Chains A and B, each alone.
Chain A
């Protein structure tokens, strides 16, 4: 039979062939497949605005938290109090100096961080005697709202610098005595000192440490609230993948599951670039883009049996000595070939993580925890496989095994320890867990799917601005 005849004969027989189908059940199945597709599509269109809304609300909440934290800390921060009350303080000092209720109008320049130093230095010019200071009306101190308890008037002298106690303060050249023992300013005051009642007693006691020691950040007077700052960072993660195979209907997808089980994940590598904002209290919101590559191998051993039919000796008849008859006939031969096929596969994903975090400081170390959703926006891959004879066959990227994986939402969490290498540069090491969205290797709606969870070591660098 010629090839054309064979093809034509087959075509005539089977082109319009029909096979019986349970159409009622099939219609129900098709109907069920059509329905979720609509829901899935609507969800696909709505999750992005929803995510943006949640992100915006989170950002707003962080902003409010930041303001609230700043307000709370300012209220407890002596520096902040002093800065806020400078005009009143100047007026108070002037009032003490003159003994009158006149308000000073000249600005008083006080560097917060060096205010104690300024205070000590300028105390030499302070036109006030300890005796006079002791008579300072309590209303001056109590007029300033402060959580720091105001020193009683009779203790004012005690909390002045030791070197000035008991001494007659030299009078300023700009101050002269007038009749009645009152002094009057001739020019704008150059006093930069502060009311002693506002200062913590232990910072000015007789045993006060030298100024250099007072600069220790542990001293509450000099403790500054950490500033909120922007950061950008890069991290590399090497992970061990763990894969789950799920199926809602084992009967229908049993073969697919068996096929998927021949694959063994090897390793995964992730690279992320994240930028974000960290509040003074250590809360952070970071987002960026990440690339993950999962390498795996699928190995299967196949037994291929080929049956051939040929002519051979089927019967031997010995008629007598030297007289043997061989009867030939059809002989069936079966040859089984066993070969191992390996497929080296690559799954690549591009993700957008949105991570909320909290950082704890300890000296130059920062310990952080971060977690949040990861949006898988693109998935691709390729597979090259090894044939039984050892040769490789390469498939194009657009014909890979993963092209129909589904995008979706996963999550990521990490614990890290960062060391401050430079004033604004941290390097970190940590543990990372990344649960990828569920991906299907079948057509949309198929019950069989896989899901990777990656556990790995994270090495990162972060730059603050």
Chain B
């Protein structure tokens, strides 16, 4: 079943096409959701809500860009709203900053993708959002500021802190791996 067939079938409400969309794209969209959600349970909720919204709003897909890219944006939008709606807004005060050691290029190669995902998940909510949007999705700080409702300078500073925190986590992980060897 081609992508255009799936899209057309979903627009007409055909259950087989909707199921095909869910089965085919869920693993990829789950990875997107997982990067924004603090845990697996929340990521599953985000994925489910995103798929419902995708199937309901599929008429809004103009067909000009990548269908996968459009779905990713829906997942990101749902994830940001889900996190924004949480009552507990964790404001993490970093007690002490230290000069970060540079991470050797080999470090990322030594890590499994699951470990990298885990490192990103370990970031505080705000850091994780900005880091994902900027470093992975490729949005600029102005777009990020509009998406999550902060100023552009806040987005920039959050990203810098997120990057430093991630470097710290990766460094620790590298050291741990070295000791394990």
Contact = CB atoms under 8 A, between A and B. Distances in A.
A30 B55 contact: yes
Interface residues of A, number: 63
Interface in B107-159: 107-108, 113, 116-117, 120, 134-136, 138, 149
Interface in A257-292: 259-260, 262-263
Contact of B87 (A263, A330, A396, A399): A263
Contacts, number: 159
Contacts of A341: 88-89, 91
A179 B30 CA distance: 120
Given A10-B135, A308-B168, A18 B87 contact: no
A23 B52 CA distance: 14
Given A6-B103, A33-B52, A308-B96, A18 B175 contact: no
Interface stretch (A66-74, A320-328, A387-395, A428-436): A387-395
A327 to B, nearest CB: 16
Interface residues of B, number: 62
Interface stretch (A196-204, A216-224, A441-449): A441-449
A318 interface: no
Interface string A298-322: 1010101011111000000000000
Contacts of B96: 306, 308, 333, 335
Most buried by B among A263, A300, A308: A308
Most buried by A among B35, B44, B135, B138: B135
Nearest to A336: B95
Interface string A374-400: 000000000001011100000110010
A442 B81 CA distance: 9
A42 interface: no
B4 interface: no
Interface string B1-28: 0000000000000010011001100111
A335 B94 CA distance: 9
Most buried by A among B23, B49, B138, B149: B49
A21 B27 contact: yes
B48 A33 contact: yes
A404 interface: yes
B47 A21 contact: yes
B74 interface: no
A385 B136 contact: no
8 contacts: A1-B103, A6-B108, A19-B30, A19-B34, A30-B18, A34-B52, A252-B45, A259-B88
Q: Which 4 A-B pairs have the closest CB atoms?
A: A18-B27, A335-B95, A259-B87, A7-B135
Given A15-B136, A19-B31, 9 more contacts: A10-B108, A23-B26, A26-B48, A34-B56, A335-B96, A343-B87, A395-B149, A399-B84, A445-B49
